[in-house]
Amino acid sequence: MRFPNGESITGFNAQVGWLTTPGHGVHEMSSAELDASQMDAYPQCAMDLRQIFRELRVQQQEKVDGRPTYVVSGIRDNRPPVQLYFDQESGLLIRLLRYVDTPLGLNPAQIDYADYRQEGAVRTPFRWTVARPGGRFTIQIDEMQQNVPIDDKKFAKPAAPLQPEN
């Protein structure tokens, strides 16, 4: 995310994750934070439910923004459950509610998915609204390209705080 005084970056590769914020150093993610970031960055997780969760339990039906949903609880070993809300009409994932276990207790994050568009063989949400106790923000994707090469340097943990680009 870009702010007037710099960028906030959340990054992870196959081994570690990190966070940077303007004016602060690099914070290495705990295993719980890494798990949460991977879930947040993967809106197609609904396609891989059996690989991500050891057990799925259908819960109650609930309305989200006036739309009826099926609520599915995803159970994982040694992690808090994840609630997945699927639109009853389209079958699309429209909300994900997950928790990060912290020294102060469970920290919730709710992600609402919208503006689904067909990208290749998959419908992909182009708008994610993330709500956490510290605030709320929206990620809006304007354009998506598949299978584009990305420089490996983008996945390297920075050694120092990132400076704003001029």
Mean pLDDT of 114-126: 88
Among 81-85, 96-100, 149-153, 157-161, name the one with the lowest average pLDDT. Answer: 157-161
Structure tokens at 38: 């991977």
What residues are paired with 159 via a beta bridge? none
pLDDT at 89: 95
Residue-wise pLDDT for 15-63, tens only, equals: 778 888 787 778 888 777 777 766 666 655 656 777 778 889 999 899 9
Per residue in 60-99, pLDDT tens? 899 999 999 999 998 888 888 999 999 999 999 999 999 8
Confidence of residue 102 (pLDDT cuts 50, 70, 90): confident
* Residue 22: predicted pLDDT: 80
SS3 labels along the chain: CEECCEECEEEECCCCEEEECCCCCEEECCHHHHHHHHHHCCHHHHHHHHHHCCEEEEEEEEEECCEEEEEEEEECCCCCCEEEEEECCCCCEEEEEEEEEECCEEEEEEEEEEEEEEECCEEEEEEEEEEECCEEEEEECCCCCCCCCCCHHHHCCCCCCCCCCC
Model confidence at 114, pLDDT cuts 50, 70, 90, reads: very high
| Paired tokens of 10 | 């959340």
pLDDT at 44: 58
* Residue range 127-151: mean pLDDT, rounded: 88
How remote is the C-alpha of 132 from its chain's centroid? Answer: 12
Place of tokens 């001029």: 166
Residues 44-151, CATH architecture: Clam (2.50)
At residue 129, the pLDDT reads 94
> Which has the closest alpha carbon to 102: 128, 72, 134?
134
Parse the chain into domains and list their residue ranges: 44-151
For the ranges 5-14, 48-57, 137-146, 148-157, which has the lowest average pLDDT?
Answer: 5-14
